[in-house]
Structure 1
Amino acid sequence: MKTLNEKTWQYEKHGIDGEVELFGVNIFDYKWENTNTVAILDPKYNNEYHFNVYKVIIDGKEYEFAAGEVSNNVWCFYLPKE
């Protein structure tokens, strides 16, 4: 987990480009708006990555997540911990 602007980011999932369900939808079907950057530690290998923080509107509701491509077409997603 990593704290950015008083937010703690927790690993949610990883998956193949275009095939990741997040917030009940395929997240790649929606427009992501880049809002920030955060340094995140890989949960398995403890490598540090710099991921972009995005917001997305799904059915009129705004969601926030951090994501980065960690390997060719493999994405890792983090959500703010409540």
Structure 2
Amino acid sequence: MDVKNDWRLQGQESYLKNKRLYKSEFKINSKNNDHAHCEFCWKKFSECGTNDSLNIGYSTKDKYHWICCDCYEDFKDIFNWKLLVKGKEMKWRFVGSTTEDKFIIDGIDIFKEKWESTGEVADVIDPLYGQPFKFNVWRVENEDEIIIFAAGEFSNNVFGIYCR
């Protein structure tokens, strides 16, 4: 996708370039404002999240500017956004989830390798619900490669995998 010529870009660089963003649920913040819109595509955010509105997205710290998940993914690189979890920069990117004993990273099924703890803990966000988690950081090694990843359980047998 050629994002530089995207219709959604309407000068937001002047107030959203290099910003720190938080993934969170939309909450009404005044009596006069019961909803917000994505700064790019104008999708609606509301507290209840209906068929025609969203409830989870990315916002500035003051919760004034909101960005939907699709626009965040499309523009995060050119806007150089920093994702924060509890005030700390998110250093881990979500690469997928699994309910099975199989997950491929860089061509290696990590479930077929021995996991070694690095002793680190990663602060991550569930990409679906915006909930923060602390996942252990693991290392797997084979003849060709060393892979470092964070993994943990979101809910009953649903595991999230993150890489740096």
Q: With structure 1 as the length reference, what TM-score do the two structures score? A: 0.80
| Structure 1 match to 2:126 | 42
Q: 1:12 aligns with which of 82, 95, 104?
A: 95
- Structure with a larger share of its residues in strand: 1
1:1-80 aligned at under 5 Å gives the runs 1=83, 8-35=91-118, 36-80=120-164
The 4+ residue runs of structure 1 with deviation greater than 6 A are none
Number of corresponding residues? 78
Structure 2 gap segments, 5+ residues each:
1-82
Residues 2, 19 of structure 1: alpha-carbon distance in 2 compared, 3 angstrom cutoff: farther
CA shift for structure 1 position 69: 1.3
**Relative CO higher for 1 or 2, CA cutoff 8 Å, sep ≥ 6?**
1
2-structure distance, mates of 1:17, 1:39? 23
Q: With structure 2 as the length reference, what TM-score do the two structures score? A: 0.43
CA shift for structure 1 position 23: 2.2
2-structure distance, mates of 1:7, 1:41? 8
CA contact (8 A) 1:14 1:76 kept: yes
CA shift for structure 1 position 2: 6.0
Q: Which of structures 1 and 2 has the bigger CA Rg?
A: 2
- Structure with a larger share of its residues in helix: 2
Q: Calculate the aligned-residue CA RMSD, in Å.
A: 2.1
Q: Percent identity?
A: 33
CA shift for structure 1 position 58: 2.5
For the residue of structure 1 that corresponds to 2:91, the secondary structure is strand
